[in-house]
Chain A
Amino acid sequence: QVQLEESGPGLVKPSETLSLTCTVSGGSFSPHYWSWIRQSPGKGLEYIGYVSHSGSSDYNPSLRSRVTISIDTAKNQFSLRLSSVTAADTAAYYCARVIWLGEVIYYYVLDVWGQGTTVIVSS
């Protein structure tokens, strides 16, 4: 049973860098993707990006200039860094596993999620 758990500071100052880590237990990194999603009252659920087990990544264009998602398979962790944060980055941040389901055509799904961690951007 794969489990994900987010960790990191709950309070970040404006203009600083938000850093979160997701620890994966009970499963293998390969061949899945590993994603970050955030949720705020103003913007709802927002895809931030994903990293593959081999380290390739995909980012939401709206955040691409500020975001890095990396993976450390030796530690069973993947991480999110979001630079130059503002109050608009205040949200609950979730890590999630991306798998593909189907028989002929494969469909990406977010099948396992962490419990989420709230990050507030404030001085």
Chain B
Amino acid sequence: DIQMTQSPSSLSASVGDRVTITCRASQSINRYLNWYQQKPGKAPKLLIYAASSLQSGVPSRFSGSGSGTDFALTISSLQPEDFATYYCQDSYITPWTFGQGTTVEVK
């Protein structure tokens, strides 16, 4: 199975901050990388697919980058509704695997 490793596991930030979360795959997955946002008690929500394509309806302050094994999710200006946990997911080959998550907390 492909292993997905996110960093950091948590971070503290303020509204308006620029936030970057990284995800590393244990082998090359080209651009088969998705990002999800999850809030407590809710299901994950798709934000980014194909490493950098914004899902319909997702604010443009979210962006993704990378290919191969190294990827990043950036929030350009953190909003109050963005405090949540973020997961990367490989869709290169099943079993699809998820990173362990990065929690963005209020500073």
CB pair B55–A111 under 8 Å, yes or no, is yes
Task: Using A47-B96, A60-B94 as known contacts, say yes or no to A102 and B50 having CB atoms under 8 A apart.
Answer: yes
CB pair A101–B49 under 8 Å, yes or no, is yes
Q: Is the interface of B mostly helix, strand, loop or mixed?
A: loop
- Residues of chain A touching chain B, judged by Cβ–Cβ distance below 8 Å, are 44-47, 58, 60-62, 94, 96, 101-102, 105, 107-111, 113-116
- Residues of chain B touching chain A, judged by Cβ–Cβ distance below 8 Å, are 1, 31-32, 34, 36, 42-46, 49-50, 53, 55, 87, 89, 91, 94-101
Collect the chain A residues with CB atoms within 8 Å of residue B31's CB.
105, 107
CB pair B42–A58 under 8 Å, yes or no, is no
Collect the chain A residues with CB atoms within 8 Å of residue B34's CB.
107, 109-110
Q: Is the interface of A mostly helix, strand, loop or mixed?
A: strand
CB pair B91–A108 under 8 Å, yes or no, is yes
Task: Using A45-B87, A101-B50 as known contacts, say yes or no to A115 and B94 having CB atoms under 8 A apart.
Answer: no
Q: A110-B44, A110-B89 are in contact. List 15 more A-B contacts (CB 8 A).
A: A45-B44, A45-B98, A47-B97, A94-B44, A101-B49, A107-B49, A107-B53, A108-B32, A108-B96, A109-B34, A109-B46, A109-B91, A110-B34, A110-B36, A116-B42
Pick the contact of A101: B36, B42, B53, B98 (CB < 8 A): B53
Q: How far is the CB of B33 from the nearest CB of chain A, in Å?
A: 9
CB pair A61–B95 under 8 Å, yes or no, is yes
Pick the contact of B94: A45, A47, A94, A105 (CB < 8 A): A47
Collect the chain A residues with CB atoms within 8 Å of residue B94's CB.
47, 58, 60
Residue of A nearest to B95 (CB): A60
- 22 residue pairs of the A-B complex, CB under 8 angstroms, read A44-B99, A44-B100, A44-B101, A47-B98, A60-B94, A62-B95, A96-B43, A101-B53, A102-B50, A105-B50, A107-B32, A107-B49, A108-B96, A109-B46, A109-B49, A109-B55, A110-B36, A110-B44, A113-B43, A113-B44, A115-B43, A116-B42
